[in-house]
């Protein structure tokens, strides 16, 4: 399967600041990446689908102006949480979709965001 990395693994920021999270596909060119959010003891909730070279598709209820996604290359997608607030504190996980017809997704290790 694909190897996916995320950076940083943990970040603590002050309320009102912006935080950028990187998702890299290390051995695979991913035209599609996904961003999920996971609250403690909860399941993963899809935030958006990131398509290389085009605008991301956001799920209902996810503010596109708050969660900026840039998929500028086949190996890198970034999620920027703008003007972060304590309620944005969560575990953010990205995934890449495998080639062909498999629809298998390979997940990054996640980024723990804490907003003070």
Partner 1 sequence: AQSVTQPDIHITVSEGASLELRCNYSYGATPYLFWYVQSPGQGLQLLLKYFSGDTLVQGIKGFEAEFKRSQSSFNLRKPSVHWSDAAEYFCAVGANSNSGYALNFGKGTSLLVTP
| Residues lying near partner 1 in the complex (CB under 8 A) | 1, 4, 6, 31-32, 34, 36, 42-44, 46, 49, 91, 93, 95, 97, 100-110, 112
Is residue 14 within 8 Å of residue 116, measured between CB atoms? Answer: yes
Find the shortest distance in angstroms from Cβ 31 to partner 1. 8
CB of residue 13 to partner 1, shortest distance in Å: 19
Of 19 and 30, nearer to partner 1 (C-beta) is 30
CB of 44 to partner 1, least distance (A): 5
98: exposed, middle or buried (Cβ count in 10 Å: 0-12, 13-18, 19+): middle
Q: Please, which residues have CB within 8 angstroms of residue 81's CB and are 6 or more apart in sequence?
A: 18, 19, 20, 21, 66, 67, 88, 113
């Amino acid at each position: 399967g694909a190897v996916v990395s995320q950076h940083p693994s943990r970040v603590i920021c002050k309320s009102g600041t912006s935080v950028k999270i990187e998702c890299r596909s290390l051995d695979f060119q991913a035209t599609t990446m996904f961003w999920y959010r996971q609250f403690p003891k909860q399941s993963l909730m899809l935030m958006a689908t990131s398509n290389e070279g085009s605008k991301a598709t956001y799920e209902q209820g996810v503010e596109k102006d708050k969660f900026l996604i840039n998929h500028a290359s086949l190996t890198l997608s970034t999620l920027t949480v703008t003007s972060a607030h304590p309620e944005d504190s969560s575990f953010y996980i990205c995934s890449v979709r495998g080639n062909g017809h498999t629809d298998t997704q390979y997940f990054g290790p996640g980024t723990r965001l804490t907003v003070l």
